Amino acid sequence: MSQLNILRYPDPRLHKVAKPVLAFDARLKQLIADMAETMYAAPGIGLAATQIDVHEQIIVIDISDTHDDLRVLINPEVIWASEEKQVYDEGCLSVPGIYDGVERPARVKVRALDADGNPFELEADGLMAVCVQHEIDHLKGKVFVEYLSPLKRNRIKTKLVKEEREVKRDKQRVAVR
């Protein structure tokens, strides 16, 4: 297994729409294992393949405190969402250090495939509902900051671009020494 590089907002690759998974093979199982390792190391509770520049409909989620309840959703689709909404402070591994309230349906039902290609349905509420919807958004090329006002979104983009520039500048200084 290996940890993968997570794309950072505003990287344009985060806006690519993922394609359905067609082959359930050893490559897919290795990718899922690498995604899980990356998510746990980050640390995070969800990761979509889009975030690691793989544009296939694969999500890994584990909202447990003990990191022993890994959920894999392949080709997921929301088949029902409650009219009742909830606001959760969301964060994202692709938008490090930023948290803000996003309103989403309080409960959802999702149809997906597991790592072996077997279909299943997942009914989710609370944090799991938020996480599933957040990760499915990634597969559609949408980052949670797009739910925020243009002003907030621009401030976040400016902050992250500045941080990225500073990191690159620091690496160049180290390389020159």
List binding-site positions for Fe cation. Answer: 92, 134, 138
| Half-sphere exposure (Cβ direction) of 153: Cα atoms closer than 13 Å | 11
The residue count for the chain: 177
- Token duo for residue 153: 């979104």
Which residues, 6+ apart, have CB-to-CB distance to 152 below 8 Å? 100, 145
What tokens does 149 get? 């006002």
Look up 163 and say whether it is catalytic: no
Q: Minimal CA–CA distance to 95: which of 167, 19, 171, 14?
A: 14
H helix count then E strand count, the chain:
3, 7
Q: Which residues are annotated as a binding site?
A: 92, 134, 138
Phi and psi, residue 28, nearest 5°: -65, -45
From 56, 84, 121, 135, the catalytic residue:
135
Catalytic residues: 135
